[in-house]
Structure formats: structure tokens, C-alpha cells
Amino acid sequence: MDYLNLLAGRTERMQVNAIREILKVASQPGIISLAGGIPAPESFPLELIAELNGRVLAKYAADAFQYGLTEGFPPLRAALAERLSSRDIQTQPGDVLIASGSQGVLDAIGKALVSPGDRIAVESPTYLGALQAFTPYEPDYISLACDEGGLIPDSLEAALTRHATKFIYLVPNFQNPTGRTLSMNRRRAVASIIRKYGALLVEDDPYGDLRYEGTALPPLKSLAPDNVIYIGTLSKVFAPGLRLGYCVAPTAIRNWLVLVKQGVDLHTGTYSQALAAEYMAGGYLDRHLPRIIELYRPRKEAILDALARSFPDDFRWSQPEGGMFVWVEGPAGMDMQKLYADAVRYGVAYVPGQFFFVDQDAGRHTMRLNFTLADGPTLARAIDLLAEVIRHHG
Amino acid sequence: MDYLNLLAGRTERMQVNAIREILKVASQPGIISLAGGIPAPESFPLELIAELNGRVLAKYAADAFQYGLTEGFPPLRAALAERLSSRDIQTQPGDVLIASGSQGVLDAIGKALVSPGDRIAVESPTYLGALQAFTPYEPDYISLACDEGGLIPDSLEAALTRHATKFIYLVPNFQNPTGRTLSMNRRRAVASIIRKYGALLVEDDPYGDLRYEGTALPPLKSLAPDNVIYIGTLSKVFAPGLRLGYCVAPTAIRNWLVLVKQGVDLHTGTYSQALAAEYMAGGYLDRHLPRIIELYRPRKEAILDALARSFPDDFRWSQPEGGMFVWVEGPAGMDMQKLYADAVRYGVAYVPGQFFFVDQDAGRHTMRLNFTLADGPTLARAIDLLAEVIRHHG
């Protein structure tokens, strides 16, 4: 039979994109991958999980395996609310919605809010997974200008003046892909702008806990609570394979997200939520997090040292204080997607930066490098190899 | 700020429906609930899970907690392919797509295939969760006529002749809500019709394994493999809280579903999938399933006996050979939603049948009764109480 005529209009927008192919190549044996946004497997508290399994079975028994509320497993909602409140996001357990990864929150936001042609304002570059969540709902994107200090507030205000905007999507801490952090002054400015224009902002904060130096800055949610949906995840501080994300949204919006989520997956896995509830309520997260930070800090230093030592003078890169990524800009005219085939021959993979731009022509000379999966010496070798590729490339 | 103007067009279709309120009432203490479609907690192999936890940690270690493929955890795909092949669905591991519950498959199908105004043909009555998955993509529904033997094939052929139809949605085994099973002759007829019209059919089979008497019938997928997406779940034979569903679809469609699922949740929980892989590959499912059947068979007999003993002569009900539900039809003019408030006062909850009809006026005199959650004596008491409610009701 003919399947092609069965496709929905929206699906035609979801091209099998080149990045899937790039990530496939990156996972081949013998390749050092700086491509994925993947935590180190040694960051997972495996021995602890054996203990948590026992605690969950003893404490919740069949309840950990039964259908649950769409909103989430109550003990996990309570643990998250307590943690968020300690960071200036005053939250009751009932305010927290658990989702299947932060991707699940992004999908629900797109589905609940975006009609075809609605405008979403995004940083340039922005997180690719958010584009993949929103694009099926057929929005138009507005690119906001950014620099070393993150989003430039004037660019946001200009966009809101010019266009009716459904929401703004932002990763203020150690952004994916650039590793940059929105400065304190700019947080105040952005909060004041969204309040002034009655605009909704989606604050995606997967990396906030992974700070290796400097001081934590307050979330936008704490500066403009009525205007912000705050998204967090346990993928970077517990385990991504449990698929646990969450959000705190204004009540009206949360109710729509619950309705949407019910149609998508009924609820997020109960057993995973019970494990996470025990991990947090038992104080294990607070004890384990410093170990993750101690694991990643030297890796970040190793990649930055290697870049400084090996990369050509006409390259520039970000100086992340946390997170998982360094953003590299080559000289104008360079094409990092063309370089990619050579890099793989040398045994190194990365993500060409163009994929993170709504207008992909904008980022051809950029690349995103991950520094959490490989250890320091491997990162140094990868950067040396990449430098060699660059020197020998066309 | 004003949130209402942020709503997408599709979200306005997703009304907070009365059924959520009904299920809330049903879960109050002191109420015997025949309302949910919920497995008995004593059907979960809890002791075995403690052992499976250990096996998963030993065998997969960090891999069970890492990001995984959108398509699913390879050992689980392999175990499911083997099981499906033993039931006449010739399947390779690569043909299986794992999703976050069968709800996740239904959402992906709706999202990949349905443009606003596309037609979906459904049994009358049909599974409410499927309507909740599809409706956000703004289809029009065509109701197909059904009787004791399930879908009436002539009704399907008439619909396909009259309307361009995106797909047909069917639950052929122990249907939710009616408990009815599509007969063998009708399976052949339906397979022949969809082949003749080049139509796509979604075969949702959550209850096929829960057969308490009679002989299993071949899935439609085995009779018209190119025209059928087969959906299964581990929610009824392992644990719903792990949120594991799956489908086997024609390759072109599977590829679109993968693309869609990537945007929705990246992938289904790895740890849950690893537990299920060990449950199946270790032969535990085949050993545990008979215990679930032995648990539910007497419950089914108890509810049918009680209905025969207590319910008024002008009531009729289905005679399910498996699954979780009995469907009751009262005399014309009776309103089971009006009866509901009285029933709750007597301490019994059910789902008024109208919610399972696309045109809700069609089912006012019907109700769906679950017989898997409560034990036999409790079911008998609940039916006696319901009979009393009916006798005393206006």
C-alpha cells in the first residue's frame, strides 16, 4: 500500500536530519566523541541505586509499579518543591509537574500553546532538542541576538515590540550549545522586559547544578514568577535513562500541560519517580552532586587548556563556568560540517554548530564540544587531533 | 498576566472532562471502584522484581541508566520480536518500536499521521484513551457499528467507500470498554477489506494475553501485515508503572513514529526497559502470566454470576472471555451518569458508558465495569449494591 499519502502536514517538517547521522558516526568504535550531550557513566551512583531499589520496594511495594497521577508521584513532587524553594523558587508540591525528561515538558508546552504560525523567540544559537519539540507544532521562530553574556536584552525587547510572541525559550545557565551564562544584570533586565510586555518565558535549566566555579545566579523564575515556566531535569544529576524532568508553571498553564500530558503518556514511569524521590528525600542527591562536580571540573579545565595550547590563533571559544559544552568559533568562511568528515578520519567527532541555529547558514564556522563524557587525557588528545585536522584541512 | 490568549487551537478541544472527576470520586476511601482499568496490585511480580533489579545492575550496569536509542533498548526489542513471532507476527528486533506505554504509540500515530480534519474510523463504543491521544491532532471521527461479535465488517466497508479515512482504530481482543472479541470470520473479512481499500488499521491489543477461556484468535497484523500497526503493552502482564508499550508498524510508518517520538521524549526509560528485557528473556513472563490469569478468571466469574443473580431483567451485559471489563446496557431511557451519584452514595463507582462514544448521546444507558482490581467477594457485594441503587433510582 501507499504510505506516503498518510503523512500529516506537520510531519513533513520533521526531516530526518543530518545530526542523527553525525551522532551515529560519533558512536562508532575508535572515535573519541565530543558530540553528544551525555553524562559520564561513572557519574551515575550505581552502588547507591542498588540500595535505593531496596528502599523503594520496602517503602512503596506495589504502589511503585501501579498507574499513577499524570501530575507525578507525590513524594517526588514534594522533594522537588523543597529543593526549588531553597533556590528562591517558592514552590508547593502541587506546583510541580513531573514529565518524561525535560523533553516531555518541551513537547507539552509546544502542544498546549503553539498553533501553526505562532512565534517563538529563541537564542541564536539555541538548544536543538527544543526546536525538535516545538517544530512539529509549526511555529515560526524569531532569533534573538546573543554575545558572551548570553541573550542581549535589547534584542528581546525589540522582538517583543515588533512581533506577537507566544513565548521566549531560554537556557540561562551554561547554555547548550554555547556554555554561556546569562549575567545578573541581564537577568534583571530580561525579567523586567517580560513583565512589562506580559510575555511568557520558558526557562530551561538542565545544567544549573553543574557549576564548577563562580557563584550561582538566581533563576528568572524567581525574578518574574508569573511570567516564567521553569524546567529542570534529573538527567544530569542522577541518571538520564530514568527519563525524569519537571516544570513549575503558572497554575493555568500547568493545568493545560497536565491535560496534554495525559494524552501523550498518561504519566511518567512510577518506579523511576520513586527511585528519584528516595534519592532526593534521603539526602543522597546533595551528597552525590559534589562528586559529579569533582568529576567534571578537571575535564572542563583539560579541554580549555588543550584548546589554548593547540588551536590556531584565529579560533575563539567560550569559557564556561559549568555545564557540559564549549562553543568554538573558527575564522569566517570555515565550514565545520565539511571539516567533520576529516575529523572522523582522525578519530574525533563533534557537532557542527549550524544545527543549533534556526537559520543554519549563520553557524557554519562554529562547533560544539562536549567535555563530560571523555576523561581529561582523552579530551586533550581529541583536541590535539582536531587541531591537526584543522591545520591540514583545505 | 493573561494566560488564556496563549492557548493553542488544539488545546481548546481537550476539555477537562467529567471522567477525571468520576475517577477522582472512585478512588475515595470506602468506595468499591469498578471504574478504572487497573490491574490488581497482587498481580505484580514484586519478589521477582527484587531479583530482576539485581540482574539488571549486574548485566547492564551504567548502560541501564544512560541515554538510549529512540527506537528502544535492544535486548527488549529482541525479546518482544521473539514473542510476537511465536504468535504469527513475523518480526525482527529492528521492527519493534518501544514507547512510553501504548498511550505513547497512540500519541505518536496521531502526531505523525493526522492533519486537522482527517478522518479516523473507530468502533462504537471505543477506547477513551485513544480518543484522548488522537483528538489534539484535530481529526473527525467516523463511528463504526458493532455488535456482540465486535466490529461489523459491512460497516467498515461502507465507511471506506464513503470517506477518505486516515486509519481505522480497533481493539479486537476483549475490547475496552465492551469486553467483546472480534470473531475469526470477521477478522478475515476486516483483513480482506483493508487490503482491498489499501487502508491502514491500528490494532491495539493490550488484553490479548489475558484470556481466561476459549481459544486465542490470530491478530489482524498476521492477516494483513502491510496494512496494520500492531500495538502491545507490558502494563497488563508486568506492571503499568513502568510505562512500557510497543508497536510493530510498516517500515515507512515506523520511521516517522521514531522521528516523532524523538521530539516527544527522546526515548522511553532505559531502566524500565532493561527490567522488562530480563523479565521476558529470562522466561519469567511465561511463568508469571498463568498466575495473573488464575487471579482474574474467578473475578470475571464472580462479577458475571453476581450480575445474573442481582441485576434487573431488562439489563443485558457482555460475556467477555478475557480482559478487564464487562459492558452493561440498561433499558432505553436510563441515564447511567445520573445514576452515578446514587451509586457513589451506596459505595460503588463505575464509568458511565457515554464517555466511550464519539457521540456521547449514544451511550447514556450503558456502563463499563472493571473486574480485575477488586476480589470476587468484593465484586459480588459491589454488584448487589449497584442492583439496589438501580431498583431505588428514580
- What 3 state SS string does B243-257 have? CCEEEECCHHHHHHH
Residues of A within 8 A of B167 (CB-CB) are 6
* The pLDDT of residue A326: 98
Does the pLDDT at position B4 exceed 90?
Answer: no
Please compute the mean of the pLDDT values over residues A390-394 and round it to a whole number: 86
* The pLDDT of residue B3: 87
DSSP track, B148-214: TTEE-HHHHHHHHHHS--SEEEE--SS-TTT-----HHHHHHHHHHHHHHT--EEEE-SSTT-B-SS
Asked if B3's CB is within 8 angstroms of A259's CB, the reply is no
Q: What is the pTM of this model?
A: 0.97
Asked if A100's CB is within 8 angstroms of B271's CB, the reply is no
* The pLDDT of residue B115: 95
Nearest Cα to Cα of residue B264 among A390, A91, A10, A278: A10
Q: Yes or no: say if B379 and B370 are a contact pair by the CB < 8 Å rule.
A: no
Q: Which strand (E) or helix (H) includes residue A5? A: none
B189 touches chain A (CB under 8 A): no
* The pLDDT of residue A15: 66
Please state the separation of Cα A343 from the chain's center in Å: 25
Q: Which domains does chain B have, with CATH numbers?
A: 4-44+287-392 (3.90.1150.10), 46-284 (3.40.640.10)
Q: Which residue spans within chain A are E strands per DSSP? A: 32-33, 96-99, 119-123, 140-144, 146-147, 150-151, 167-170, 201-204, 228-233, 245-248, 316-317, 325-329, 348-349, 351-352, 366-370
In this prediction, residue A16 has a pLDDT band, given cuts at 50, 70 and 90, of: low
Please compute the mean of the pLDDT values over residues A12-39 and round it to a whole number: 82
Nearest Cα to Cα of residue B170 among B182, B185, B160: B182
In this prediction, residue B187 has a pLDDT band, given cuts at 50, 70 and 90, of: very high
Residue A345 makes CB contacts below 8 A (sequence gap 6+) with none
CA distance B330 to B350: 14
CA distance B328 to B320: 12
In this prediction, residue B17 has a pLDDT band, given cuts at 50, 70 and 90, of: low
Rg (C-alpha) for chain A, rounded Å, is 21
Please compute the mean of the pLDDT values over residues A165-192 and round it to a whole number: 98
Residues of A within 8 A of B41 (CB-CB) are 61-63, 65-66
Strand partners, B32: B348
Please state the separation of Cα B126 from the chain's center in Å: 9
Does the pLDDT at position B394 exceed 70?
Answer: no
Distances, alpha carbon B171 to alpha carbons B125, B174, B177, in Å: 11, 7, 9
* The pLDDT of residue B15: 66
* The pLDDT of residue A155: 98
CA distance B65 to chain A (A): 4
Grid cell, residue A54, equals 531496596
**Chain A residue closest to B250 (CA)?**
A3
Asked if A269's CB is within 8 angstroms of B241's CB, the reply is yes
Q: Yes or no: say if A228 and A221 are a contact pair by the CB < 8 Å rule.
A: yes
Q: Yes or no: say if A31 and A347 are a contact pair by the CB < 8 Å rule.
A: yes
Residue A53 makes CB contacts below 8 A (sequence gap 6+) with A275, B50, B53, B57
**Chain B residue closest to A72 (CA)?**
B241
- CB-count exposure of residue A332 (10 Å: 0-12, 13-18, 19+): exposed
Please compute the mean of the pLDDT values over residues B350-375 and round it to a whole number: 94
Question: Which residue shows C-alpha cell 469498578?
Answer: B34
Q: Yes or no: say if A387 and A314 are a contact pair by the CB < 8 Å rule.
A: no
In this prediction, residue B231 has a pLDDT band, given cuts at 50, 70 and 90, of: very high
pLDDT in tens, B133-169: 999 999 999 999 999 999 999 999 999 999 999 999 9
* The pLDDT of residue A21: 76
Nearest Cα to Cα of residue B69 among A129, A103, A20: A20
Using a pLDDT cut of 90, give the percent of chain A over it.
91
Q: Do the bridges between strand B150-151 and strand B146-147 make them parallel or antiparallel, or are there none, so unpaired?
A: antiparallel
Please compute the mean of the pLDDT values over residues A331-356 and round it to a whole number: 95
Rounded to the nearest 5°, which phi and psi values hold at A361?
A: -65, -20
The angle, 0 to 180 degrees and rounded to 10, between the axes of the packed helices B46-60 and B284-310 is 150
Strand partners, B120: B141, B167
Does the pLDDT at position B21 exceed 80?
Answer: no
Residues of B within 8 A of A112 (CB-CB) are 7-8, 11
Question: Which residue shows C-alpha cell 488484553?
Answer: B207
Answer whether the bond into residue B312 is a cis peptide, omega within 30°. Answer: no
Nearest Cα to Cα of residue B7 among A133, A109, A227, A226: A109
Asked if B14's CB is within 8 angstroms of A265's CB, the reply is no
Grid cell, residue A205, equals 535549566
Question: Which residue shows C-alpha cell 513537547?
Answer: A107
pLDDT in tens, B252-305: 999 999 999 999 999 999 999 999 999 999 999 999 999 999 999 999 999 999
CA distance B135 to chain A (A): 9
Question: Which residue shows C-alpha cell 448521546?
Answer: B361
Length of chain A: 394
- Helix (H, G, I), strand (E, B), or coil: what is residue A256? helix
Using a pLDDT cut of 70, give the percent of chain A over it.
99
Nearest Cα to Cα of residue B307 among B34, B41, B29: B34
Mean residue pLDDT of chain B comes to 95
pLDDT in tens, A285-308: 999 999 999 999 999 999 999 999
* The pLDDT of residue B291: 98
CA distance B243 to A271: 9
Residue A299 makes CB contacts below 8 A (sequence gap 6+) with A371, A372, A374, A375, A376, A379
Cα-based angle A18, A384, A33 (whole degrees, multiple of 5) = 35
Interface residue of B271, B324, B372, B373 to substitute, partner A, most A CBs within 10 Å: B271
Q: Which strand (E) or helix (H) includes residue A77? A: helix A74-85
CA distance B340 to chain A (A): 23
Distances, alpha carbon B314 to alpha carbons B7, B180, B329, B333, B387, in Å: 46, 20, 9, 12, 12
Q: Is the ipTM of this complex over 0.90?
A: yes
